[in-house]
Chains A and B, each alone.
Chain A
Amino acid sequence: MRRRSLRLRLALTYASMALLTALILGGILLGVLAQYYSRAESAYLNASAKLIAANPPPLTDQTALDSWAKAAALSTQTRVHLYDGAGTLLADSGSPGTLDPGSLLRYGQGHGYGRHSGFRLPDLLGSGLFGGSGNARSSRTLSVPLDQGRHARLSEAPASGHAALVSAAEAWFVAATLAVVLAALAGYLVAARIARPVISLTEASDRMAEGDLSARACVDRTDEVGRLADSFNAMAGRMETTVDTLRRFVGDAAHEIGTPLTALEADLDLAERAATTDKERSLVQRALGQASRLDALSTSLLQLSRLEAGGAFADASGGTPRDADREDVAALAREAAGGVASRAEQAGVELRLDISAGPLPVGARRTELQMVLGNLLDNAVKFTPEGGSVHLSARREGDTAVLTVADTGVGIPENEQDSVFGRFHRARNVAAYPGNGLGLAIVKAAVERNHGSVTFASSDSGTEFRVTLPLA
């Protein structure tokens, strides 16, 4: 929505500017025209009045009066009412539009033109651009004083101005509509030109925010937006380098720790064999315990730094990022269950499996799915007291594969549930258990890297983790 609003707003602005201009222009034009034609109509009536006053009606019979009225009406193109001094109607020409011009000729030359009856002259001003309104008549009236107290009232003069006005208004409307539409289109195009690089920038920064540090804005321009894009790209590049260096450092450090640790553990193993007293043996075993803690820690750090490095990070041996394969989550779940079964049995924890018989193919990296399953099952077995159970299920739900690992363990304290996925976070109630607080951070990073999501529900009677992955 927000991405379109610039185009929409600019199009609307342009359109309203065009509309305003059109309204002002149209208003002035039509006003001037109306005034002009109003004066023209008055002048026409006055001129007609002079003409009639110059040819007063005869003082004869009714037929002569009627003929006069009709002749007057035809010659002035108005309706002529003739009144006597007392205001009594003497003659009415009828509407000039219905008068037969031929009759005027008859008045002069006697009768015999009956077949021309009904002939009409075309309207001088045409009938407007869109037809109709050709016979419009003015609503103005004018009294013309005549001799002997009689007077004529002129009305229904041709409203020539009206037709012209309507015509002009119609033309104006067409022109205004066209102008508004063109202006809106122009506004939209201009906005689109401005918005395209902005959209590209927005997309790049969105991708960046999602963790894809290789995102760059593709803007090939030299204006202000182009400069913004350039500086964004420079910033992104710097950030990527910094983050990569940091991650590489963590990964390298974990590597480097691995070698002396191997030597240390081997030496401690030898020392354990060489130990002659129980005291010596237990001391060496304690040292070995700490060494394997370090072991696990460096392995976890290495895994986490790899996961968070994302696709952009080539590993230390120069390998390239691998594409995800189609992996069967059901088979991996069975494998992971096998990996933890002995430990669970030895700890007196029942391991129950509910794994889909059919394959659950997902597009993911095998090692990362193994980390997810391994860490969740490890935790479940570790935090479940003897006599409890761990339930692993893998099934299809719509177009996703859903893995759940439920235990009857110690649970996660409610006030710590927000931070379980954090690095090195360990809940207060698990301080006595071995662990480094990286397991769930690895789970989350691995799941999200493979376009899945992980949630959990926990109470003091157990915890259930739920991993959803899109099926391939």
Chain B
Amino acid sequence: MPPQTQSILVIEDDPAVAEALVEGIGTEGYQVHWEATGTSGVAYARERSPHLVVLDVRLPDGSGFDFCREMRQLGLRQPILMLTVQSDEVDKVLGLEMGADDYLTKPYRLRELIARIRSLLRRAYGELSSVEADVLYAGDVTIDRTRGSVARDGRALNLTPTEFRLLVFLAQHPGQVFSRAQLIENVWGSDAEFYDDKTVSVHIRRLREKIEAEPSDPSLVLTVPGLGYRLAT
């Protein structure tokens, strides 16, 4: 199932935020529907069964946590992404215990939200990002293996063949940590003996400068101290 046909319900009371969300998520090709209250949102979810629900915590007719629980009690199994206003961990944990699958703390960036939506949809409806898949995802970056192209926000990114192989390898195993030696073996392959750890660091750095929205604060290719690198899930 290609992601473009998937439907998303946004339950958010603030029209300005909702409008931006609807438009932002819509430009990614999803069908977006907006409901301003928890009650109407739950009713819509029950009736139309969207693929994913984006749920604000503060709603005029009650707490998002309660609506989250209500949807779960109604037997709705689709992923729920909570939007919280508080950085309080207790609220987050509570949100997850209520049956939410993920959360984002306001203020958040649209890019971050879309990346979370994608990853939730991938997890829930067939793992597209696998070793065999032609199209891979790394956050908001799309990798087309057959065409050898990489794009973010619809704009193509120019990667060198080594950077492309490095990104593909990481994207094939999201979340898995690889040491520099493992990366040399799997990305550089037969020529591995000519390269050292420093080579990996240099390529990672350049790759980040190209694919990261904010290269100085990477959110896709992550360093794991003392171990190596992993792709953010």
Interface stretch (choices A28-36, A152-160, A340-348): A340-348
Contact of A270 among B14, B23, B85, B90 (CB under 8 A): B23
Partner of A319, one of B19, B88, B110: B88
- Is residue B153 contacting chain A, with contact meaning CB distance below 8 A? yes
Quick check: is B132 within 8 A (CB to CB) of the other chain? Answer: no
Q: 13 A-B pairs, CB-CB below 8 angstroms?
A: A260-B16, A261-B107, A266-B17, A269-B109, A270-B20, A270-B110, A295-B107, A317-B91, A338-B225, A342-B208, A342-B217, A346-B216, A367-B89
Known: A346-B205, A351-B225, A353-B225. A315 touches B86 (CB 8 A): yes
Partner of A265, one of B85, B87, B110, B217: B110
Q: Tell me if A255 is interfacial: C-beta within 8 Å of chain B.
A: yes
Interface residues of A in 290-343 (CB under 8 A from B): 292, 295, 298-299, 302-303, 306, 315-317, 319, 322, 334, 337-338, 341-343
Contact B107 A345 (CB under 8 A): no
Residue positions of B touching A, CB distance < 8 A: 14, 16-17, 19-21, 23-24, 27, 63, 85-91, 106-111, 153-154, 201, 204-205, 208, 215-218, 221-226
Interface centre among A265, A295, A337, A366 (most CB of B within 10 A): A265
* B199, chain A: closest CB distance, angstroms: 14
The proximity string for A residues 69-100 relative to B, scoring 1 for CB distances below 8 Å and 0 otherwise, is 00000000000000000000000000000000
Please, how many residues of chain A have a CB less than 8 angstroms from a CB on the other chain? 40
Task: Give chain A's interface secondary structure class.
Answer: helix
Contact of A342 with B223 in the complex, beta carbons under 8 Å = yes
- Chain A residues with CB below 8 A from B205, complex form: 345-346
**Chain A neighbourhood of B223, CB < 8 A:** 338, 341-342, 344-345
Q: Are A262 and B218 in contact (CB under 8 A)?
A: no
B91 CB contacts on chain A under 8 angstroms: 317, 319
- B224 — nearest CB in chain A belongs to which residue? A338
Q: Confirm or deny: A397 has a beta carbon within 8 angstroms of a beta carbon on chain B.
A: no
A56, B221: Cα distance in complex, Å: 137
**A269 contact from B17, B86, B111, B221, Cβ within 8 A:** B111
Residues in A whose Cβ lies below 8 Å from that of B217: 342-343, 346
Q: A263 near B17 (CB under 8 angstroms)? A: yes
Q: How far is the CB of A290 from chain B (nearest CB, A)?
A: 13
Residue on B nearest A370 in the bound complex, by CB: B89
Q: Does A123 contact B (CB under 8 A)?
A: no
How many Å lie between the Cα of A306 and that of B218 in the bound state?
29
